[in-house]
Amino acid sequence: MKPIAEALENLSPEARAELARPVLTFDPRDAEMTEGKEARWYVVSVFSRAAEAELAKRRFGIFVPAVAEKAVERGRLVTRHVPLVPGYVFVFFWETDANWLRVATTPAVDKILGWVTDSQVDKLRFQESCEQMDAEFRRKVAMSVVRSARKRPGKLRRKRGKIKRRGKANASA
């Protein structure tokens, strides 16, 4: 008899059942959908474009508004796509602590600024598709959407700076 067949015959019924169970291919770093929670677009500050590929690989929906710019390189006219808001990516996910941590711990992600509404993302998509507008106006609209990101309450958001108390007079005065 073959050694593998002999080894299988010597296994307990529980071990055989475990080996017969189908293998699930699930990566714990992948995004997950959650019922009862709302899915939103989040503004994420990134260090490099590598974060976009990593977030897409982890199955998050991403949107990077870009515009086509014509430039002369080595004496040739080329069209290249330049991000409308450099350093920011819009990521679509359900607001759970697990998803929040998956995005926050992605390499090349700086921080999650907050969420924006679908209508604001649609406005960016419209701006991206309007080639007749000048570049400065497109950038102003894009930055207004980034600045309007609403903060997520909770312990996972990074806080910077010091808290100053208002309305308290000095005790020596």
CB 104 within 8 A of CB 156: yes
- Evaluate if pTM is beyond 0.75: no
- Structure tokens given for 83: 């991000």
Query: 57: closest CA among 33, 92, 30?
Result: 30
Which CATH superfamily includes the segment(s) 39-147? NusG, N-terminal domain (3.30.70.940)
CB 138 within 8 A of CB 67: yes
- Structure tokens given for 33: 């959908």
Place of tokens 């990074």: 158
CB 43 within 8 A of CB 117: no
What is residue 32's predicted lDDT score, i.e. its pLDDT?
Answer: 73
The residues, ordered by sequence, that sit 6+ positions from 78 with a Cβ below 8 Å of its Cβ are 70, 71, 72
Calculate mean pLDDT across residues 109-123: 90
pLDDT digits (tens, 9 = 90+) for 38-48: 889 999 999 98
Q: Where along the chain do its domains lie? A: 39-147
